[in-house]
Structure 1
Amino acid sequence: MRRPPNGGTLGESRVGLDTSAVRPRWGILALLFAISAVTYMDRVNISVTARQMMPAYGLTDQDMGYVFSAFVFGYALCQIPGGRLGDRWGARVVLACALVWWSLCTVLTAVVATLPVAGLVGTVGALVIVRFLLGVGESVALPNFNRAVADWMPPGQRGLGIGIAIGGIGIGAAITPPLASWVMVNYHWQSVFYLSALIGLVVALLWVLFSRDGRSDATAKADTIPTPVPWRTIFRSRPLWWLVASYTCLGYVAYIYMSWFYLYLVNVRGIDLLRGGWLAAGPFLAILLFCPLGGWVTDKLVPTIGLRRARLSIGMLGMALAGGLIAVGAWVESQTLAIVCLSLGAGWLYFTVGAYWSVTTDLSKTHAGTLSGVMNTGANVGGVISPSLTPWLADHWGWTASLLVAAGIALCGGLMWMKVNPEDGLRE
C-alpha cells in the first residue's frame, strides 16, 4: 500500500496522500467491503446450520458454545500478529493468503466428522480445532482493513473508509441466514459450507487481480525494513487501553448476535426455520446502514467540535442506545417489537465502529495495523466469553436476563469512552 513520508506522532504523515491514490481508493474500499462480507458469512453460517448439525452429531447448546468460542479464541489470539503482518508486508499479500486459508477451513467444517483428528478427539473436539483454525485465518482481516484505510484514505475520510470496509459484515451476515436456511432446507447443511468456501475463493481471486500496493520502488524498498514496534509506549498508553476495554464490551454484545440470534428467534421466540432466517438478517442490515453512517458522522464532526469530542460523542451515543434497545428487545413479549429493537440495537452498536477504529489511526498511523490488532483482541476476549456465557445465563435465569446482562455491558462500554483521548497520541 502507498505510505506517505513519515513524521508527526510516531510516524503520522504531515502531508496528504499522493493524488495518484485518489482513483483506486474507492475500488480498494469496495474490495475490502466484499472481503468483510465473506468473513462474516463464514462465521455466521454455522449458527444457522447448527439447527441440523447439532442433532446430526448429538451436540448440546453448551457444545456449540465451545465451538463458537473456539473460533473467537483463535481470532483473538492472532489479532496482534495479524496487524503486525499488515504493517510489515501490506494488506494485499496478507489478505489474499488469509482468504484462501479460511475458505479451506470452511470446507473442513463440512466434513469434520470424516477427518482423522475426529477419531482421536471426537467430533466436538475436531470441530473445535477446525473453527479455531478458521479464527486464526480470519484474525488478519480487520487489522489489515485498517492498514489499507490508513494507507489509502486521507485523515478526514478514515472514519468513513473503515465504516464502509467493516460495514461489509452487515451484508455478509444479513444474506447468510436466509441463504443458508434455503440451502439447508432444500439440499443439506454441508452444502452451506461448500457454497461459502466457493464465494471466498472467488473474492480472493478478485482481490489478487484488482487490488494493488500502489507503491513506488523506493517506497517498496523502504517498507521491507521493519519499523520497530514501540511496545513499551503501547502498553503505557492509557487512551489505548480504555479503548480496548470499551471495545471488549462491544465484542461481548456483537458475538451474541453472531452466535445466538438466529437460534434465539427459532428456539426462544418460536419462529420457523425459513422465516427465522429472513428475520435474523435484521440486525445485520442495520449494521450495513449504521456502520458507514457512524464513520461518516465522526469524520464530519472533527472540524466542528474537535477530534476528541467527535470520537467520544459517537462512541458514547451508539453504545448507550444499543444497550437501551437491547434491554427493551429482551423484555417485550411482542415478536415484532423485540426483533425491531434488537436489530436497531445492533445497528447503534456498530454506529460506533468508525470512531473506534479511527482512534487507532489517530494515535499512530505508522502502527495502525498493530494498534487495531491490540484493540480488536479486546473485542474478541469479549467474544470468547459471550458465546458460552450467554446460554449458561439463559439456562439459569432465562434469555431475558442473559440479554439484559449484554445491555448492561454495552452501557459500560459507552461510559469508558470518557477516558479515551485520541489527541494524546503515542509518544516516545
Structure 2
Amino acid sequence: MSISQGQAAKTPPSSPAPSAPEPRPAPSGARKSRVGRYRFAILAVLFVSTAINYLDRSVLSIVAPDISRDLGISPEMMGWLFSGFAWTYALAQIPGGRLVDRFGPRVVYACALVAWSAMTALGSLAKGFGFLFGTRLGLGLFEAPAFPCNGRIAASWFPRGERGRAVAVYTSGQFIGLGVAFPLIAWMAAALGWRHVFWVLGGVGIAWALIWMKVIRNRPAEHAKVGEPELEHILQGEPARSADEGGEITTAAADDKGAFKRDMKFLLRQRRIWGVFLGQFAIASTLYFFLTWFPTYLANERGLTLDKGGLSGALPFVAALVGVLCGGSWSDWMVKRGISANIARKAPIVTGLGLAGVIVAANYVTSNAAMIAIMCVAFFANGLASFSWVLVTEIAPERMLGVAGGCFNVFGNLAGIVVPVVIGYLVGGSGSFTLPLMLIAGITVGGALSFLFLVDKVERIEA
C-alpha cells in the first residue's frame, strides 16, 4: 500500500476524499519514490560515539605499564583499578535504561558523554591509586546509559532486516577505535607521557557531544531530513517506539512506581532472557581481557612494550572489527533469505563463542607472531558474537527495551567486575598469564552453551 493510499484509508467515510497530505519536506533534490539514507548518518554518529566510549574506558589499560611504574601500583591493585569502571557501570545500567525510556536517548546520551569525558580528563591529575580509582568509578557511572541509548536508537531507526547489521556496525566502533588509536595512544604516551593521553581524549569527547545533539533525533519522524519513503521503509516489520525528548509519550507504566518491579520480575522469569544475559557475560569476559590486561600481557609476558608493541597490540582489535561486521552481516543475510530468526541470530553468536576458546593456545607457543595470530583469531571470534545486542531488541517486550537493555549490560559488566580482579590476583600470585587464558577459554565455551540451549526461540516475549 502506498503512503497516499494508507492516509486516504484513514479518512472518515463522511468526509470528502482529500488529496494526500503534503509530506514533510525531503532533502533538497531527493525524489519521493527513492528511499532516503539519513538513517545511515545516524548510524555513523553511533559508530563514532561508541569508539569514543571504548577509548575512554580502555585508555587506562593501554598506559597501565607506565602508570604501574610511575605510581607504584601492584598487579592486584591494577586489577581493582581495571574493575572500578565496571562496578558503577553495572550498577547504573538499570537506572540508565529507565532514563532512556523516560526522556529519550538524544539528551540522555549527550549529557552522559560530557560527564564521562570530564572523568577521563581528570585521570591526568592522578597522584595515586585513590584518585585514579575515583575517576574510574565516575567514568563507569556516566557511561552507563550509552548502550541502552544505542539499542533504542537502532530499534527506532532501522527495520528488522537491517537491524542486525546496524547493531554490528556501531558495535564495531569499539574495535576500530581501539585498533586505530592503540598505536597512536602508545606513541603519545611514550613521547609525551601518559597524563597527556587522558586530557586529550576527554576534550575530544566533550567536543563530540555537540555533533551528537545536532545530528541525532529520538525517532525518524522527528527529523526534517527523513522523507516519507525512508520513513515507510524504517517502519517495516516491528518498529520500536522511541521516547520523545520531553518524555511526553511515556506510558502510564513508566510513571507507575510499581512498574519497574513488575517488569524486573517478569524479565527474570524468562528462560531465554537468562540465556542472553549469561551468554553476554561470556562475550564480555573475553572483551574485558583485551580491554584491560592485554597490553600488560604483551609487555610483561611477551616483552612487547608500548613503543615496540603498539602495532601488534592493535591487530586483534582490527580482527574483532572484522568479526563483528561479519557476524551482523551474516545474520541479516540469513534473515533476508527466510531462514528462521532462531538460526539467523544465534548461529554467528554460538560459532563465535566456541571459536574464541582458541585463546588458550597462546599458552603453548613461544613465537610472538604466532601468539598475535592466535589472539587475532580469538578476538575475531568474540567480535562475531558481539552483535548479541540485537537479541535484546527482538526478544524483550517492546515497552521494556530500556530496562532489558540495562539488565543485559549489568550481566555483561559483571565480567568487567570479576575478570580483571581475578586475573590480577592470578598474575600477582603466579607471575604469568597461563591460568587467566585458561579461565577465559572455559567461560567462552560456557557462553556458547547458554545461547544454544537456554535461548529456545528468538521472538518477542509478550508481556
Q: TM-score, normalised by structure 2?
A: 0.82
Contact persistence 1:162–1:292 (CA under 8 A): no
Partners of 1:424 and 1:43 lie apart in 2 by 33
Contact persistence 1:239–1:424 (CA under 8 A): no
Return the offset for 1:395: 3.6
Residue in structure 1 matched with residue 371 of structure 2 by the alignment: 338
> For 1:132, which of 124, 127, 137 is the aligned residue?
137
Please tell me whether residue 426 in structure 1 is matched to residue 461 in structure 2: yes
Q: What SS does the corresponding residue of 2:63 show, helix, strand or coil? A: helix
Residue in structure 2 matched with residue 223 of structure 1 by the alignment: 249
- For residues 162 and 365 of structure 1, do their structure 2 counterparts lie closer, same or farther at Cα, with a shift above 3 Å needed? farther
> For 1:209, which of 207, 214, 218 is the aligned residue?
214
- For residues 370 and 66 of structure 1, do their structure 2 counterparts lie closer, same or farther at Cα, with a shift above 3 Å needed? same
Please tell me whether residue 68 in structure 1 is matched to residue 82 in structure 2: yes
Partners of 2:393 and 2:297 lie apart in 1 by 37
Partners of 1:216 and 1:225 lie apart in 2 by 19
- For residues 316 and 90 of structure 1, do their structure 2 counterparts lie closer, same or farther at Cα, with a shift above 3 Å needed? same
Please tell me whether residue 317 in structure 1 is matched to residue 351 in structure 2: yes
Contact persistence 1:330–1:403 (CA under 8 A): yes
> For 2:196, which of 177, 187, 191 is the aligned residue?
191
Letter in 2 for 1:182: W
> What pairs up with 1:80-99 in 2 under 5 angstroms?
80-99=94-113
Partners of 1:19 and 1:264 lie apart in 2 by 55
Partners of 1:395 and 1:191 lie apart in 2 by 28
> For 2:403, which of 365, 370, 378 is the aligned residue?
370
Contact persistence 2:47–2:172 (CA under 8 A): yes
Partners of 1:175 and 1:103 lie apart in 2 by 19
> For 1:283, which of 305, 311, 316 is the aligned residue?
316
Residue in structure 1 matched with residue 46 of structure 2 by the alignment: 32
Deviations 1:208-230 (Å, cap 9, x if unpaired)? 12222344599847524454452
Residue in structure 1 matched with residue 290 of structure 2 by the alignment: 257
Gaps of 5+ in 1: 1-17, 114-122
Please tell me whether residue 144 in structure 1 is matched to residue 149 in structure 2: yes
Deviations 1:235-269 (Å, cap 9, x if unpaired)? 21110011101111111221010001111111110
Gaps of 5+ in 2: 1-23, 27-34, 224-240, 255-259
Please tell me whether residue 352 in structure 1 is matched to residue 385 in structure 2: yes
Return the offset for 1:200: 0.8
Residue in structure 2 matched with residue 49 of structure 1 by the alignment: 63
Partners of 2:181 and 2:78 lie apart in 1 by 18
Letter in 1 for 2:45: L
Letter in 1 for 2:196: S
Contact persistence 2:282–2:446 (CA under 8 A): yes
Residue in structure 2 matched with residue 15 of structure 1 by the alignment: none
Q: What SS does the corresponding residue of 2:304 show, helix, strand or coil? A: coil
- For residues 371 and 189 of structure 1, do their structure 2 counterparts lie closer, same or farther at Cα, with a shift above 3 Å needed? same
Return the offset for 1:369: 2.4
Letter in 1 for 2:189: M
Deviations 1:23-61 (Å, cap 9, x if unpaired)? 321011000000000011111111122222222211111
Aligned residues: 400
Q: What SS does the corresponding residue of 1:280 show, helix, strand or coil? A: helix
Contact persistence 1:45–1:176 (CA under 8 A): no
Partners of 1:165 and 1:369 lie apart in 2 by 18
Letter in 1 for 2:327: G
Q: What SS does the corresponding residue of 2:338 show, helix, strand or coil? A: helix
- For residues 44 and 423 of structure 1, do their structure 2 counterparts lie closer, same or farther at Cα, with a shift above 3 Å needed? closer
Deviations 1:358-389 (Å, cap 9, x if unpaired)? 11111133332221211111110011111111
Return the offset for 1:205: 1.4
Partners of 2:144 and 2:71 lie apart in 1 by 28
- For residues 422 and 25 of structure 1, do their structure 2 counterparts lie closer, same or farther at Cα, with a shift above 3 Å needed? farther
More helix by share: 1
Partners of 1:365 and 1:185 lie apart in 2 by 48
Contact persistence 2:123–2:199 (CA under 8 A): no
Letter in 1 for 2:43: L
Residue in structure 2 matched with residue 408 of structure 1 by the alignment: 442
Q: What SS does the corresponding residue of 1:427 show, helix, strand or coil? A: coil
Residue in structure 2 matched with residue 246 of structure 1 by the alignment: 279
Contact persistence 2:77–2:424 (CA under 8 A): no
Return the offset for 1:292: 2.1
Return the offset for 1:84: 2.0
Partners of 1:22 and 1:177 lie apart in 2 by 36
Letter in 1 for 2:455: V
Kindly report the root-mean-square deviation, in angstroms, between the aligned alpha carbons of the 2 structures. 2.2
Return the offset for 1:285: 0.8
Q: What SS does the corresponding residue of 2:398 show, helix, strand or coil? A: coil
Return the offset for 1:124: 1.4
Residue in structure 2 matched with residue 107 of structure 1 by the alignment: 121
Partners of 1:132 and 1:232 lie apart in 2 by 28
Residue in structure 2 matched with residue 295 of structure 1 by the alignment: 328
Residue in structure 2 matched with residue 168 of structure 1 by the alignment: 173
Deviations 1:70-97 (Å, cap 9, x if unpaired)? 1111111111222222222221111101
Deviations 1:180-231 (Å, cap 9, x if unpaired)? 1111111121100111112112221111122223445998475244544523
Return the offset for 1:346: 0.9
> Based on CA coordinates, which of the two structures has the bigger radius of gyration?
2
